[in-house]
Amino acid sequence: MGISRVSVPWCGSTPANGFQWRELTNLNGSHLGFELRCGEETEGECHPETTTTAAVERLDVVLRDVWMPTVTRSDLSTIGPTRPLSGSLSVSADFVDRGGGVQGAELLVDGVVHRRVDVGDLACVKPHVAPVPCPTTGRVMVPVDTRAFADGAHNLELRLVDVAGNRTSVGPVAVVTKNHQSTERRTVPGRVSLRKATLQVVYGARAHLEGSVDGLDDAPLPDAAVEVAWRVNADGTTFTQLETAVTDSSGRFSVPVGPGPSRVYRIRYGASEAIAEVNVRAPLRLRATPSKTRNGRSVKFRGSIPGATAPGVRVELQARAGRKWVPFRTAALRRGRFAASYRFTNTSVRTRYRFRAVVRADPDLPYAPGTSKIVEVLVRP
At 32-74, the pLDDT tens digits run: 555 555 544 444 555 555 555 555 556 565 667 778 888 888 8
Q: What share of the chain is helix, strand, coil (3-state, %, to 5)?
A: 5, 50, 45
With beta carbons less than 8 A apart as the criterion, state whether 173 and 156 touch. yes
- Per residue in 315-369, pLDDT (tens digit) is 999 999 999 999 999 999 988 899 999 999 999 999 999 999 999 999 888 999 9
- pLDDT of residue 10 exceeding 50, the answer is no
| Alpha-carbon dihedral angle through residues 266, 268, 274, 280, given to the nearest 10 degrees | -30
Specify the DSSP class assigned to residue 372. Answer: P
Q: What CATH class does 70-177 carry?
A: mainly beta
With beta carbons less than 8 A apart as the criterion, state whether 79 and 89 touch. yes
| One-letter amino acid of 119 | V
Specify the DSSP class assigned to residue 313. Answer: -
Instruction: Tell me what pLDDT residue 57 has.
Output: 59
3-state class (DSSP) for residue 123: helix
Query: Higher pLDDT residue, 89 or 24?
Result: 89
Q: How many CA atoms lie within 13 A of 146 on its CB side?
A: 24
Query: Higher pLDDT residue, 21 or 258?
Result: 258
Q: Give the integer Cα–Cα distance in Å for 361 and 370.
A: 9
pLDDT > 90: percent of the chain: 35
Most confident of 99-103, 227-231, 370-374: 370-374
Long-range contacts from 106-109, C-beta under 8 angstroms, 24+ separation: 106/142, 106/158, 106/159, 106/161, 107/142, 107/144, 107/156, 107/157, 107/158, 107/159, 108/155, 108/156, 108/157, 108/158, 108/159, 108/172, 109/144, 109/149, 109/154, 109/155, 109/156
Instruction: Tell me what pLDDT residue 46 has.
Output: 53
| Residues composing the chain | 381
With beta carbons less than 8 A apart as the criterion, state whether 316 and 357 touch. yes
- Per residue in 82-108, pLDDT (tens digit) is 567 777 778 888 888 888 888 888 888
Q: How many CA atoms lie within 13 A of 159 on its CB side?
A: 18
Biggest distance spanned by C-alpha atoms of the chain: 110
With beta carbons less than 8 A apart as the criterion, state whether 11 and 37 touch. yes
Q: How many CA atoms lie within 13 A of 378 on its CB side?
A: 3
Q: CATH: 2.40.128.110, 3.30.70.600, 2.60.40.10, 3.60.15.10. Which one for 190-280?
A: 2.60.40.10
Q: Give the integer Cα–Cα distance in Å for 229 and 145.
A: 14
With beta carbons less than 8 A apart as the criterion, state whether 265 and 230 touch. yes
Instruction: Tell me what pLDDT residue 42 has.
Output: 46
* Closest by Cα among 304, 301, 310, 308 to 329: 301
What is the average pLDDT score of the chain?
81
Q: What CATH class does 285-380 carry?
A: mainly beta
- pLDDT of residue 2 exceeding 50, the answer is no
Specify the DSSP class assigned to residue 83. Answer: S
With beta carbons less than 8 A apart as the criterion, state whether 280 and 260 touch. yes
Q: Give the integer Cα–Cα distance in Å for 259 and 181.
A: 25
Q: Give the integer Cα–Cα distance in Å for 77 and 282.
A: 25
In this chain, the answer to whether the domains covering 70-177 and 285-380 adopt an identical fold is yes
Instruction: Tell me what pLDDT residue 7 has.
Output: 46
Mean pLDDT of the region 230-239: 84
DSSP bridge pairs for 116: 106
For residue 148, the tally of other CB atoms under 10 A from its CB is 12
Positive or negative, the CA dihedral 12, 15, 18, 21 is: negative
Global pTM reads 0.49
Instruction: Tell me what pLDDT residue 200 has.
Output: 92
Instruction: Tell me what pLDDT residue 81 has.
Output: 53
- pLDDT of residue 20 exceeding 60, the answer is no
3-state class (DSSP) for residue 237: coil
- Per residue in 261-291, pLDDT (tens digit) is 899 999 999 889 999 999 999 999 999 999 9
With beta carbons less than 8 A apart as the criterion, state whether 226 and 244 touch. yes
With beta carbons less than 8 A apart as the criterion, state whether 362 and 319 touch. no
Domains of the chain: which residue ranges?
1-62, 70-177, 190-280, 285-380
